[in-house]
Amino acid sequence: MNECMPVMNTGLRGASVASTKISNVDGAKGKLIYRGYLVADLAEKASFEEIIYLLLYEDLPTRDALAQFKQHLLGKRPIDKSVFEFMKALPPSSSPMDVFQAAIPLLARADARAEEKTIDAALESALNIIAGFPTLVAAWERIRNKKAVVSPRDDLDHGANFLYMLKGEMPHPEIMHFFDTALVLHAEHSFNASTFTARQVASTRAHMYASLSAAMGSLSGELHGGANVRVMEMLKAIGTSDAIDPYIENTLASGGKIMGLGHAVYQVDDPRADILAPMSRRLGEIIGDTRWYELSKELEIKAKKAFKTHKNMDIFVNVDFYSASLFYTMGIPTDFFTPIFALSRVSGWAAHVIEEQFATAAPKPALYRPGATYVGDYCGPNECSFVDIDNRKGD
Ligand SMILES: CC(=O)SCCNC(=O)CCNC(=O)[C@H](O)C(C)(C)COP(=O)(O)OP(=O)(O)OC[C@H]1O[C@@H](n2cnc3c(N)ncnc32)[C@H](O)[C@@H]1OP(=O)(O)O
Ligand SMILES: O=C([O-])CC(=O)C(=O)O
């Protein structure tokens, strides 16, 4: 195949590569909808379990359907013990996202239907990951700190049970509530980098575990989900209000990034940040330490001014800007912020894998295989003549 096409190093920005019924991001208006519902309404009125159901089954559950669904998820919380053994063999300093990316495919071993190419089997695999992943994430925090793994509890909702397994004690009721809302807000965001990765892998007919493991790698990057960790590191590096101006000046002057600002789609503040910011402030008030919220707010205001002055551009906060101080105030270890993001986004990824593999409406998704323009200029216009290994010249 002659792969001659125009060079486009645009990150596919603005290009539509598929159709989806799962969510829509209106970047100009700052509107995010999951299956027709505004995320602001869902964050206020729905639990994370309802969101999982909505994303996977295309509708909000009735009370009975939700009760049955939650019961089904409960049975999937315990994971195969061999996954703990795998984690115990790793150095405690291992990056959590690397550990989880490697561990997710191991969950497939307990799923006899992982390779079955039916929507029912794919949904079961999705639920295995969605319900089992919190157990896996909490277990790594315990294992790396040489503490006993805490078993899931049947009487706690998804988010509260995770926090319980992470700390080994019941979380504060307000933390449980805010954590659940944060999960609702992080669940889905159309064709972002990690979701596109999941769909791209799914388009090869790889199974759910392979697709979501790949998505995990994509989410870990600092320009994507990894940004929430970098936001917290930045806040700690700044430390105090008087250090904000020099930090912004130095970062912009050196061509660096202020983490948690900017977005590939939003041209206004991220609607999720508008919900996360007051949650961060409120939680700070409850525990008597609003320092990280206040530092974030002042940084936001000053950075927006500085972008106008230095780059003549508007900049906006994204979802990672205020989730950082919120998660930190909840007592979550900083390097677990991106895994928390993943804890929620697995539901959106799974919905996309199912849409990719089983959508019935035309046009049916095809194997992703873009072209590239070959610019290898090694031997002029011709192919290179093969040189025997003994006759090759070093540099
Ligand atoms: C869940 C998520 O994935 S949300 C995103 C999380 N990522 C971050 O917070 C990392 C910081 N932000 C960024 O790197 C960018 O804003 C991105 C990658 C998220 C979006 O990128 P884009 O909208 O394509 O903006 P792009 O990278 O083209 O930047 C446009 C200009 O704004 C600048 N810019 C954008 N965001 C930032 C930032 N946070 N800090 C400094 N400069 C920035 C760029 O340097 C560029 O300037 P230039 O024209 O002088 O080169
Ligand atoms: O959509 C994107 O580019 C990034 C993302 O996943 C989000 O903002 O939740």
Protein residue whose Cα sits closest to atom 35 of ligand 1? 262
Give the long-range contacts of residues 34-38, CB within 8 A, separation 24 or more: 34/187, 34/188, 35/59
Cα gap 126→111, rounded to integer Å: 11
Domain co-membership, 272 together with 212? no
Domain co-membership, 269 together with 167? no
**Ligand 2 mutation pick, 191, 192, 349, max ligand atoms within 8 A of CB:** 192
DSSP-derived 3-state class of residue 296: helix
Q: Which of 283, 308, 329 is the last residue of a domain?
A: 329
Q: 9: pLDDT confidence band, cut at 50, 70 and 90?
A: low
**Ligand 2 near 264 CB (within 6 A):** yes
**Ligand 1 near 261 CB (within 6 A):** yes
Q: What is the DSSP string of 274-286?
A: HHHHHHHHHHHHH
Q: 10: pLDDT confidence band, cut at 50, 70 and 90?
A: confident
C-alpha 259 to ligand 2 mean position (Å): 14
Residue from 146, 226, 199, 144 nearest 351 by CA: 199
User: Rounded mean pLDDT of 214-233?
Assistant: 98
**Ligand 2 near 189 CB (within 6 A):** yes
- Per the annotation, the verdict on 245 as an active-site residue is no
Cα gap 166→139, rounded to integer Å: 7
In a domain, 1, yes or no: no
In a domain, 370, yes or no: no
User: pTM score, two decimals?
Assistant: 0.96
Q: Which atom of ligand 2 is nearest to the CA of 318?
A: 8
Judge contact between 182 and 47, C-beta under 8 A.
no
Domain co-membership, 242 together with 142? no
Protein residue whose Cα sits closest to atom 3 of ligand 2? 192
Q: Which DSSP category does 261 fall into?
A: B
Cα gap 153→77, rounded to integer Å: 9
- pLDDT, tens only, 34-69: 999 999 999 999 999 999 999 999 999 999 999 999
Domain co-membership, 87 together with 139? yes
DSSP-derived 3-state class of residue 37: strand
Q: Which DSSP category does 185 fall into?
A: H
What backbone phi and psi angles, to 5 degrees, belong to 93? -80, 0
Domain co-membership, 253 together with 134? no
Apex 275 CA angle, 271 and 280, nearest 5 = 135
Find tokens 């950075």 and name the residue: 303
- Among all ligands shown, which has an atom nearest to the Cα of 352? 2
In a domain, 36, yes or no: yes
| Cβ neighbours around 244 below 10 Å, total | 19
Domain co-membership, 124 together with 251? no
In a domain, 372, yes or no: no
Q: 5: pLDDT confidence band, cut at 50, 70 and 90?
A: low
Domain co-membership, 322 together with 354? no
In a domain, 382, yes or no: no
- pLDDT, tens only, 185-196: 999 999 999 999
User: Rounded mean pLDDT of 234-261?
Assistant: 97
Q: What is the pLDDT of residue 4?
A: 47
What backbone phi and psi angles, to 5 degrees, belong to 121? -65, -40
Judge contact between 316 and 258, C-beta under 8 A.
no
- State the number of CA atoms in the 13 A half-sphere of 359 facing the CB: 19
Q: 329 pLDDT exceeds 60?
A: yes
Protein residue whose Cα sits closest to atom 19 of ligand 1? 263
In a domain, 376, yes or no: no
Domain co-membership, 206 together with 242? no
**Ligand 2 near 319 CB (within 6 A):** yes
Domain co-membership, 88 together with 151? yes
Residue 88 corresponds to which amino acid?
A: K
**What is the domain count for the chain?**
2
- Per the annotation, the verdict on 72 as an active-site residue is no
- CATH code, domain with 283: 1.10.230.10
Protein residue whose Cα sits closest to atom 6 of ligand 2? 192
Q: Which DSSP category does 290 fall into?
A: -
Q: 139 pLDDT exceeds 70?
A: yes
Q: Which of 313, 329, 345 is the last residue of a domain?
A: 329
**Ligand 2 near 27 CB (within 6 A):** no
Judge contact between 134 and 77, C-beta under 8 A.
yes
C-alpha 263 to ligand 2 mean position (Å): 7
Q: Which DSSP category does 289 fall into?
A: -
Judge contact between 162 and 134, C-beta under 8 A.
yes
Domain co-membership, 240 together with 204? no
Kindly state the tokens that stand for 71: 């019961």
**Ligand 2 near 345 CB (within 6 A):** no
More confident residue, 11 or 350: 350
Protein residue whose Cα sits closest to atom 9 of ligand 2? 189
In a domain, 393, yes or no: no
C-alpha distances (whole Å) from 244 to each of 284, 292, 303 are: 20, 13, 9
- CATH code, domain with 38: 1.10.580.10
Domain limits for position 137: 23-226+332-358
**Ligand 2 near 211 CB (within 6 A):** no
Domain co-membership, 336 together with 297? no
**Ligand 2 near 39 CB (within 6 A):** no
Cα gap 40→88, rounded to integer Å: 40
C-alpha 395 to ligand 2 mean position (Å): 43
DSSP-derived 3-state class of residue 137: helix
The residues pairing with 32 across neighbouring beta strands, listed in sequence order, are 25
- Among all ligands shown, which has an atom nearest to the Cα of 228? 1
Catalytic site residue from 189, 263, 269, 352: 263
Catalytic site residue from 189, 207, 320, 352: 320
C-alpha 269 to ligand 2 mean position (Å): 13
Protein residue whose Cα sits closest to atom 12 of ligand 1? 262
Q: What is the pLDDT of residue 1?
A: 38
- pLDDT, tens only, 249-289: 999 999 999 999 999 999 999 999 999 999 999 999 999 99
Q: 7: pLDDT confidence band, cut at 50, 70 and 90?
A: low
In a domain, 346, yes or no: yes
Judge contact between 52 and 66, C-beta under 8 A.
no
Extended strands (E) in the chain: 23-26, 31-34, 37-38
Q: What is the pLDDT of residue 363?
A: 72
User: Rounded mean pLDDT of 329-333?
Assistant: 97
Cα gap 173→185, rounded to integer Å: 19
Domain co-membership, 344 together with 300? no
